[in-house]
A and B are shown apart, each in its own frame.
Chain A
Amino acid sequence: MLLFTAKKFLIMVGTLFALLAITFTISHVAPGDPAALAAGPDATEEMIQQIREEFGLDKPLPVQFLIYVGGVLQGDFGTSIHTGREVVSDLARFFPATLELVLFSILFAIAIAVPIGVISAVRQNTITDHTLRLFSVAGVGLPMFWLGLMLQLFFALKLGWFPLGGRLGLLTDPPTTITGLYIIDSLLTLNFTTLLESLHHIVLPAVALCFPALASIARVNRAEMLEVLSQDYIVNAKAQGLSKFRIVAIYALRNAMLPTMAMIGLRFGWMLGGTVLVESVFNWPGVGLYAVEAAVASDFEPIVAVTVLLGFMFMLANLAIDIVYGILDPRVRGANI
């Protein structure tokens, strides 16, 4: 298991490096001219040239890449032109917000989707099944950003049940920073007012973010449950007199969770992409919002950094899923790779 994890980790590092190279290349061979943008509309050619030199944009691409990688290895992802700060310090500021949102959403999605899938499968072709399926099929097609807007419109503006956006109210101080995740930090410091408030703020963005993932996880889980429930070992379990609950909730679900795990991993990736949209809608101060602002300003160093960071998170999530998969499926454990 250790060797397996170590190997996976090495592959991950390699992939990250390649990802860095690809995004760097794309951002540097693309026609946009960041120096011109940074210099502003009234800049003279000389001023632009000066900025180019300052940021090393006049050197050949491989040289630029080597300089860049050298910096990255020392924890320097360059400087953001639009915030004027070091990219690393920006990321440190914005990343915990994204992490909190994404983790909360995926847990929420799993907690709702798996029971939906199971119930749908057991009650196949009944009204319950059709309703749950409609709900989950509809979810996949929902544009997250629009869903977010509609949630805002209805639950925040019309009903006033939830705040419009942000992580906390304007008058509330963030909890003492331990992890940077407000929910966890306020729990750790027993600051329940802040805990409630941060939960209150995360509900709408989390629902918007997790809905498509929730829908497709539920669908896969339903399909897999149906598949598993027709397997011979389920027939045998029934013949031996196991209760229906045990057959469904333990004997079948454990098997159905294997493919479902793969879907969870995949949809986690969607969520990482979706944070960009949801953070924009709810003004959630995370790396997604940061990346969009950078992209609009053709400020490429933050974009490269955010891309690699989210890629890294995606890979970590997949690694975690591989490990859980190994725990759930004895056939994989210690066998291959």
Chain B
Amino acid sequence: MTQENIIMAEERQATWRERHQSTIRQLRLYAHTYSRNASAMLGLAIVALFFFVALFGPLFVPYPEDATGAIHLDNKLQPPSWEHWFGTDEVGADVFTRVIVGARVTLHISLFVTVVAMLIGVPLGIAAGYHGGRIGQVIMRLTDVFLSVPALILAIAIVGSMGPGVQNAIIALALAWWPGYVRLVQSKALSIRSAIYVDAARTMGASNFRIIFVHILPNCASPIIVKASMDMGMSILGIASLGFLGLGAQPPYPEWGAMISTGRNYLPDWWWYSFFPGISIFITVLGFNLVGDGLRDVLDPRGRK
């Protein structure tokens, strides 16, 4: 490389830095603010651990066959020990194994519910907020109706009519979850629609498509990210709740809520059976909430100095 080239390369880099200086500083500030927040970092650690366990845990569990309904009656309801860290259940299956495999099940379900709810809710919200008019009104009225009843009740109603089962429970939760996104995105899109810079873009001939993707979506991104993070936690609670009520996953499917549902019959003497799945739900949901909370602190300029 010649001297000149090096100089040019350096110049190019300088201009790139310069152009993105504010973005870089912004991101650094985000990272800094986030990492300064101890509880947010704790949340991040929990979520990271959860993803790790969900992705790789099932490969290392001590008794893989116990996750799918193996029976060792001679070994039933053993308290926690070196062989069975979380004890065993009423058919002698290792609770630790089932909790770990349950993490994967939980991740699958909660991701699915959150993503589907977003895929339904965000476009509807943009349509209602940006487009407005009669269609917007119809969408918002419908959203209001769905929001007028607690999501869990709605999910129970849906499962109740489709019949209990894990598939139906997932569909029910996704159907009960989307209206929140519509509200969120609609109000944001509505306020951005009339912002001066959007007017300016429109005067310069930007298409609706461009305005939606360049101006509206990026501006809705932070509240959506925060809500999605919270909703991961909430949908974990939701699916476990349905499982607990006997409307979701059915035993011996290794789902945390369903495990608690069976385990409650063995209280108080065999407490570990329902204790460990419960504490797993608690910690995981807590993690997602802390992350969502931390992200909100970072992304919400109101709370920042």
Contacts and interface: CB of A to CB of B under 8 A. Distances in A.
A32 B161 contact: yes
Contact of A18 (B145, B164, B264, B282): B145
A149 B153 contact: no
B117 interface: no
A143 interface: yes
Contacts of B156: 276, 291-292, 295, 303
B278 interface: yes
Contacts, number: 164
B164 A295 contact: yes
Interface string B55-88: 0000000000000000000000000000000000
Nearest to A299: B160
Q: Which of A143, A296, A303: most chain B CB closer than 10 A?
A: A143
Contacts of A306: 153, 157
Interface stretch (A194-202, A267-275, A328-336): A267-275
The interface size bin for chain A is: 35 or more
Given A30-B158, A143-B281, A298-B163, A307 B149 contact: yes
Contacts of A180: none
Given A137-B290, A138-B286, A307-B153, A298 B161 contact: yes
Interface string A296-309: 10111001101110
Given A137-B293, A304-B157, A314-B148, A31 B260 contact: no
Contacts of B275: 150
A43 interface: no
The interface size bin for chain B is: 35 or more
Nearest to A32: B163
A171 B54 CA distance: 49
Contacts of B201: none
Contacts of B145: 15, 18-19, 22
A257 interface: no
Contact of A146 (B160, B268, B281): B281
Nearest to A318: B148
Interface string A20-58: 001100111011100000000000000000000000000
Contacts of B149: 19, 307-308, 310-311, 314
A153 interface: yes
A293 B68 CA distance: 27
Nearest to B240: A143
B161 A26 contact: yes
Contacts of B190: none
A207 interface: no
A186 interface: no
B152 interface: yes
Interface in A109-148: 133-134, 137-138, 140-146
Contacts of A149: 260, 264, 267, 274, 278
A328 to B, nearest CB: 21
Q: Which of B149, B241, B244, B281: most chain A CB closer than 10 A?
A: B149
Contact of A315 (B148, B257, B283): B148
Q: Which of B162, B247, B290: most chain A CB closer than 10 A?
A: B162
A157 B267 contact: yes
Nearest to A271: B150
Given A295-B247, A311-B148, A158 B157 contact: no
Contact of B158 (A26, A143, A315): A26
A137 B247 contact: no
Given A23-B157, A307-B149, A152 B267 contact: yes
A217 B141 CA distance: 27
Nearest to B160: A295
Contacts of A168: none
Given A149-B260, A158-B268, A310-B153, A141 B282 contact: yes
**Among all A-B residue pairs, the 5 with the closest Cβ atoms:** A295-B160, A273-B150, A273-B152, A141-B286, A146-B278
Given A143-B237, A143-B281, A150-B278, 13 more contacts: A16-B148, A26-B158, A137-B289, A137-B290, A141-B288, A146-B281, A152-B267, A269-B150, A272-B150, A276-B152, A292-B247, A295-B164, A300-B161
Interface of B: 39, 141-142, 144-146, 148-154, 156-164, 233, 237, 240-241, 244-247, 257, 260, 264, 267-268, 271, 274-275, 278, 281-290, 293, 302-303
10 contacts: A18-B145, A26-B157, A32-B161, A138-B282, A143-B282, A149-B274, A157-B268, A295-B157, A298-B161, A307-B157
